[in-house]
Chains A and B, each alone.
Chain A
Amino acid sequence: MNAERASSVFWLAVGLISLYGSSLLGLGTFHEPGSGFLPFLAGCFICLMAIIVFLQSFIRGRAQGKIAALWAGVNWHRPLIISFAILGFILVLENLGFILTSFLLMFVLFKWVEKTSWAKAIFIPGLVLSLTYLVFDVFLKATLPKGFLGF
């Protein structure tokens, strides 16, 4: 699908959903605008702009080509792996604890995403973890999750 049109359809959907959501909140009157008044105006504006972007892709010939072309010639799998690694970090952080989760995340990034040596993949996360533990836990007294192992 054409990238320009696909993005405009996505934003149009966002605009329409916000129109529906804001109408549920209550628009109020011009004299006394309700909670949904501004979101409704924003939704209308998003829809209008999305339609213009959609039309521009035909009228002004500004089509960027297919969506696939945006990822042609780049290592598209790397941002994908990193996004999933962060998602994994979020899911296990409070169960495994700050130290173990952080180490695992950085180890994965250094060893499997960046393909550094074993020594670097272990030493750099270890050093960074020690520093962040000092800054956040010792100095800033931030409550970092301990996890079931107790650290």
Chain B
Amino acid sequence: MDFLANLIAGFSVALQPTNLMFCFLGVFVGTLIGVLPGIGPVGTMAILLPVTYGIAPTTAIIMLAGIYYGAQYGGSTTSILVNIPGEAASVVTCLDGYQMALKGRPGPALGIAAFGSFIAGTFGVIGLQLMAPPLVSVALRFGPPEYFSLMILGFVVLTYLAQKSMTKALLTAGVGILLGTIGLDTMTGMPRFSFNIPELLDGVGLAPLAMGLFGISEILLNVEKKIKQELLTTKVKGLFPNWEDWKRCSLPILRGTVSGFFLGILPGGGAVLASFVAYAVEKRISKHPEQFGKGAIEGVAAPESANNSAAQGAFIPLLTLGIPANVVMAILLGALMIHNITPGPMLVKEHPQLFWGVITSMYVGNIMLLVLNLPLIGLWVQLLRVPYAILFPLILYICLIGAYVINNSVIDVTIMLLFGVVGYLMRKFDYEPAPMVLAYVLTPMLENALRQSLILSGGSFGIFMVRPISAGCLIVAAGLLGSSLLPMIRQKREKIVAEAEEDE
């Protein structure tokens, strides 16, 4: 009964005209940037973060969430038609999607990607709605030591699953913690690393930091090389998959949905990991694994379903524990904090309208996406013809204006440029920026949890080991760190990374 009441309450928020409009705007922009190569959902959310300052928090989160799951839909279009993934979670869709297009079946490939995404996205929202409340009641028993250990586990899992070197990912997480401490110490009021710059007393802003690391650095990397835009000349028709396609895809969609959802919940998981795992599972259990990579429709259905349900699953740790599972959720966390809302177990009690409104807006958003992606496929194909030479100055310009209007200060633009260059160099030297942003966002909570725990225990670190949940998290984290040092596991992990890079 509660489920139904919450659903109705949520829809009463999600269906308000303003929220509907911003939901549409979010999924539209999400599809757009998913389609366009060279800019991902993280960069876009960072760019649009300043726009959300002037609107209600629920509306802001509805829009930003729409960008995220919208990008999962849009990303498949470029993978299938151009063999360039619009964003990372669609990398694996290229393998069979583009082959289907070459064989004259781009329509069913796009169709199954859209339907699979819709089915998985909807199941993902139902899963989120069912799983979030019980987790909230568990999370209410968490104290500072549990939060601290959970965040440490989150860092370790994120770096364990990092695409490149785990050591480098840990290092950038350390730098993120350092960045997170810039500004006034909330406990003592002492300024830290602010170099007498008044704008730094509030810390480094999330928007300029993320816009620099993900927006500007991406532009700087892309302009180095020529982006090939080979648009398929075959006409896209017959978007509805036939009966045979549905028969082949129903189980892969189901498996992709379930595995994607749970991998999305995992800290450090998310849509990218989910799509790779779903593809690998389908290839392994298929009766015709030799067809994979040559245009097997299951190779499109499973990863596209998985990345969409993962996008919904990733909301669980954020909405229930206040801990972001990936960098996209870290930006959403930042957006909530800008509006003085602290995500976590109290969110559902203190802001039920936001909690249920955002969740139910995803049902609406998924329907909008289906409508946007199937009938408007021609429009997206046309957009693919816009050369990057025209796109990047516009993206860059929006970043600059976006950074300026946050505080009407050139300091934010300077910070953005600084982190743009840092992000560019980090990527050149094979350091991933995602752990840095995640650590930066979590640092205020991490520091409070650490200090409160030590005060509670009278200065003893033993408090983290005597409480079962906290000890469990730390043991798992230590186990993961330890296992990564074992030669057998390390080689296996490196092999997986190498395979993923080859696929890219």
Binding site for B on A (CB under 8 A): 3-4, 7, 11, 14-15, 18, 21, 25-26, 29-39, 41-43, 45-46, 49-50, 52-53, 56, 62, 64, 70-71, 74-76, 78-79, 82-83, 86-87, 89-90, 93-94, 98, 102, 105-106, 109-110, 113-114, 116, 120, 124, 128, 132, 136, 140, 142-145
Query: When the two chains form their complex, are residues B401 and A132 in contact, meaning their CB atoms are under 8 A apart?
Result: yes
**Least distance between A120 CB and chain B CB atoms (Å):** 8
Query: When the two chains form their complex, are residues B165 and A90 in contact, meaning their CB atoms are under 8 A apart?
Result: no
- Can you name the residue of chain A whose Cβ is closest to the Cβ of B447? A38
Give the chain B neighbours of A124 by CB distance below 8 A. Answer: 390, 393-394
| A79 to B216 CA separation, bound complex (whole angstroms) | 10
Q: Quick one: which of B219, B223, B430, B451 has the most chain A CB within 10 A?
A: B223
Of B390, B443, B458, which contacts A31 at CB under 8 A?
A: B458
Q: What is the 8 Å Cβ interface bit string for chain B, positions 408-419, against chain A (1 contact, 0 not)?
A: 101001100100
Dominant secondary structure of chain A at its interface with chain B: helix
- Can you name the residue of chain A whose Cβ is closest to the Cβ of B173? A45
Of A38, A46, A109, which contacts B181 at CB under 8 A?
A: A38
Query: When the two chains form their complex, are residues A144 and B171 in contact, meaning their CB atoms are under 8 A apart?
Result: no
Of A21, A26, A42, A114, which contacts B174 at CB under 8 A?
A: A42
Query: When the two chains form their complex, are residues B450 and A38 in contact, meaning their CB atoms are under 8 A apart?
Result: yes
| A78 to B220 CA separation, bound complex (whole angstroms) | 8
Give the chain B neighbours of A29 by CB distance below 8 A. Answer: 459
Query: When the two chains form their complex, are residues B397 and A79 in contact, meaning their CB atoms are under 8 A apart?
Result: no
Is B431 on the interface with A (CB-CB < 8 A)? yes
**Least distance between A119 CB and chain B CB atoms (Å):** 13
| A16 to B63 CA separation, bound complex (whole angstroms) | 41
| A64 to B429 CA separation, bound complex (whole angstroms) | 9
Q: A30-B460, A33-B450, A49-B174 are in contact. Are A114 and B405 (CB under 8 A)?
A: no
Dominant secondary structure of chain B at its interface with chain A: helix
- Can you name the residue of chain B whose Cβ is closest to the Cβ of A132? B401
Give the chain B neighbours of A87 by CB distance below 8 A. Answer: 417
Q: A31-B454, A32-B455 are in contact. Are A106 and B181 (CB under 8 A)?
A: no
Of A3, A49, A106, A143, which contacts B171 at CB under 8 A?
A: A49
| A70 to B397 CA separation, bound complex (whole angstroms) | 27
Give the chain A neighbours of B389 by CB distance below 8 A. Answer: 114, 116
Query: When the two chains form their complex, are residues A49 and B167 in contact, meaning their CB atoms are under 8 A apart?
Result: yes
Query: When the two chains form their complex, are residues A70 and B429 in contact, meaning their CB atoms are under 8 A apart?
Result: yes
**Least distance between A40 CB and chain B CB atoms (Å):** 10
| A11 to B115 CA separation, bound complex (whole angstroms) | 46
Of A21, A83, A110, A144, which contacts B420 at CB under 8 A?
A: A83
Identify the stretch in B93-101, B106-114, B184-192 within 8 Å (CB) of chain A at 4 or more residues.
Answer: B184-192
Of A33, A36, A82, which contacts B451 at CB under 8 A?
A: A33
Give the chain A neighbours of B170 by CB distance below 8 A. Answer: 45, 49
B:411-447 near A, CB below 8 Å: 413-414, 417, 420-421, 424, 428-431, 443, 446-447
- Can you name the residue of chain A whose Cβ is closest to the Cβ of B178? A42
Is B224 on the interface with A (CB-CB < 8 A)? yes
| A31 to B335 CA separation, bound complex (whole angstroms) | 33
Give the chain B neighbours of A71 by CB distance below 8 A. Answer: 428
Is B221 on the interface with A (CB-CB < 8 A)? yes
**Least distance between B261 CB and chain A CB atoms (Å):** 33
